[in-house]
Structure 1
Amino acid sequence: MNTEVLEQHQQEVASRVIAEEEAKRSHLVIALSGAHAYGFPSPDSDLDLKAVHVEPTAQLLGLLRSSASPSRMEVVDGVEIDYTSNEIHPVLLGVLQGNGNYIERILGPLQLLASPELASLRPLVAAALSRRIFRHYVGFATSQLRAWETGGRTSVKKLLYVLRTALTGAHALRTGEIVTDVTALLDPYGFGAARELIEAKRAGEKTTLTPEAADRWAEQASRAFSTLEAAHDSAVLPAEPPNARELDAWLLALRKARL
C-alpha cells in the first residue's frame, strides 16, 4: 500500500475501508486521488478513493449483478471518505476513449491496493494513450474554471484543479506520461509561481484568494489552457489508441481466469 502522503490515522482508516470494500468485491486497483494525488493535500482533505473492480464472470452471465459503480461517502473516525469503483469493462472502454479519470487510476503512482493482474494491464493502458485524452483534460479544466468563476474566483482549491488538470493533460500529450502531482509540472511548464497557491491550499481546504490575486491568476489560468492546446497540436501520441485488440485479449483472459 502506497501511503507516504497520508498521516498515520488516515492510513489506518484507509486500510479499514479498503478491507471492508474488498470483502464486497474484488478490486483490480484502489487508487488515492484528489488533493493527495495532485500534490496539495491539506489536513482536512478527504480521502478520495477511486477503484476498479472485477465482477465474477459467472455473475456477469447471470441475472444477479451488483451495482455497476458502487460508492461510499461518509466520515470514518473523523476522516472523510469518498470511495467510488467501476467495473473493468467500462473502465477499459473509457481508456480507449481517453477518459483521464480511468487512466489515472491505472497508471497513477498512489495505489493503495493493486492486484497481481494490474502489472500486465499497466503497459497496455500506457500504450493505449492517444490524443483523445485532450477532450477529457480540456473539458475537466473548463468545468473547474467555471466553478472557480461562478464561486467568485476566491477558491484556491478550484484554481489549483484548473492548473493540475491542464498541466497533466499537456504533459501526457507531449510525453506519453501520466503525472498527476502538479508540483512536478509547475517548473517545466513555467508555472513556478503557483507554489504560493499550493502553500496556501496545504493550510486548509477553504483557503481563499484576494481580488488582486484572483485577477493575476485568471491570466495564468488562461495560459494553462494555451499550454494544453499547444501540447495537443504537437502531441507525440497517436490520434487513436493502437491496441484495442490487445486490451480485448487481456480482458478475455481475465474473465476466463475468474470463471
Structure 2
Amino acid sequence: MTWPRQLSEAVEAHAYPLLFATISGAHLYGFPSPDSDWDLRGVHVLPTREVLGLQATQDTISFERLEDGLELDLVTHDAAKFFALMLRRNGYVLEQLHSPLVVHTTPEHTELRELARGCVTRYHAHHYLGFSANQWRLFSKESPQRIKPLLYTFRTLLTGLHLMRTGEIEANLQVLNQEARLPYLDDLIGRKTTEAEQAPLAEEVTFYEAEYRRLTEALVQARDESGLREEVTADTRQALSDLLVRVRLNERGAQ
C-alpha cells in the first residue's frame, strides 16, 4: 500500500523523535472511502530534561490538517503514556503498534511489538465489547443510519474474537472475514469503499441487530473459554520499564 507524501512529511516535521508512526482508522480496517481522512498514530520520546523539569510536558500531541484536499489526523503519545496504556488492556494501542501500514519505524518499535505479546490478556475482550457497544449505540441513534459505524461495530467484534482465540491482533475486516465468512460484510465493505464517507444505510437494520447480538455473545463466550493469561506478566512490566529508561537516556537513538 502506498500513502500520500503528507504522512511522511508529518513524521519528519514532528517536534520529538518517534519510535514509530503507523496508519490506523479506516485504511487499517480495510474499508476506507474515497474521501476518508488519514489517521496517523505513533509514539514520541520526550527529552529527559523536559520530563525531569517543572514545565508541563506534551505527553500527547495531536493535530488535524487539510492540505491539497487531504485530511490528516495525527496523534502521538509519549513513550511513558503509551507503555502505560499497553498495560491497561487497551486494544486500540496494540492495533496501532501492530499496524502493518508503517510510515516510520525503529529497532525499538520492533522490540515493543515483541514485548506486547506479554501484554495480551483475556480481559482485552472488555475493550472490544465496550467499543462495539458504543458504536452500535451511535449507529442506532442516527437518522439516517450510516454504513461506517455499522462496519466499525462488526470490525471491533471480530478483532476481539480473533484475539481471544489466537492471541494475535488483526484489525483488517477483510482479513478477519476470510475466517468469519459473513457475506453481508463483503457487501457493506464494497459499498463503504466506493461511496462517500457518510454514506447512509438504506436497508432495514433488524438483521444487523441480530448479528450484533450474536457476535457479542460469541465474544463473551470466547473470553470465558480463552486460554490467554489473566494478567500482564511481571517480566513484561519490567522489560517495558527498562525500554523506557533506555529511550529516555538515548534520545538520539530513537530518531
TM-score for the superposition, normalised by structure 2 = 0.92
| Equivalent residue, structure 2, for 1:118 | 109
Following superposition, the deviation at residue 116 of structure 1 comes to: 2.4
Q: Deviations over 1:62-107 (max 9, x none)?
A: 1234422111112111001111111111111111111112111212
* Residue 193 of structure 2 is aligned to residue 202 of structure 1: yes
Tell me the percent identity: 32
Moved more, 174-183 or 56-65: 56-65
* Residue 210 of structure 2 is aligned to residue 227 of structure 1: no
Following superposition, the deviation at residue 5 of structure 1 comes to: 5.1
* Residue 93 of structure 2 is aligned to residue 89 of structure 1: no
- 1 CA distance for matches of 2:244 and 2:210? 45
- 1 CA distance for matches of 2:103 and 2:200? 31
| Equivalent residue, structure 2, for 1:175 | 166
One-letter code of the match for 2:8?
A: S
Structure with higher RCO (Cα < 8 A, 6+ apart): 2
Q: Which runs of 5+ in 2 are unaligned?
A: none
| Equivalent residue, structure 2, for 1:51 | 42
Corresponding residue SS for 1:180: coil
One-letter code of the match for 2:119?
A: A
- 1 CA distance for matches of 2:2 and 2:207? 30
Q: Deviations over 1:112-159 (max 9, x none)?
A: 111221111111112221123112111111111110001136210100
Picking from 15, 18, 31, the partner of 1:27 is 18
Distance 1:241 1:192, change over 3 A: farther
- 2 CA distance for matches of 1:122 and 1:207? 35
Moved more, 231-240 or 30-39: 231-240
Q: CA RMSD in A?
A: 1.6
Whether the 8 Å CA contact 1:141–1:161 is kept in 2: the answer is yes
Corresponding residue SS for 1:51: strand
| Equivalent residue, structure 2, for 1:18 | 11
Moved more, 35-44 or 128-137: 128-137
* Alignment: residue pair count: 249
- 1 CA distance for matches of 2:238 and 2:57? 27
Q: Which runs of 5+ in 1 are unaligned?
A: none
- 2 CA distance for matches of 1:136 and 1:251? 25
One-letter code of the match for 1:14?
A: L
- 1 CA distance for matches of 2:239 and 2:119? 9
- 1 CA distance for matches of 2:246 and 2:78? 16
- 2 CA distance for matches of 1:221 and 1:152? 19
Corresponding residue SS for 1:84: strand
TM-score for the superposition, normalised by structure 1 = 0.90
| Equivalent residue, structure 1, for 2:126 | 135
| Equivalent residue, structure 2, for 1:193 | 184
Structure 1 stretches of 4+ with a deviation exceeding 4 A read: none
| Equivalent residue, structure 1, for 2:156 | 165
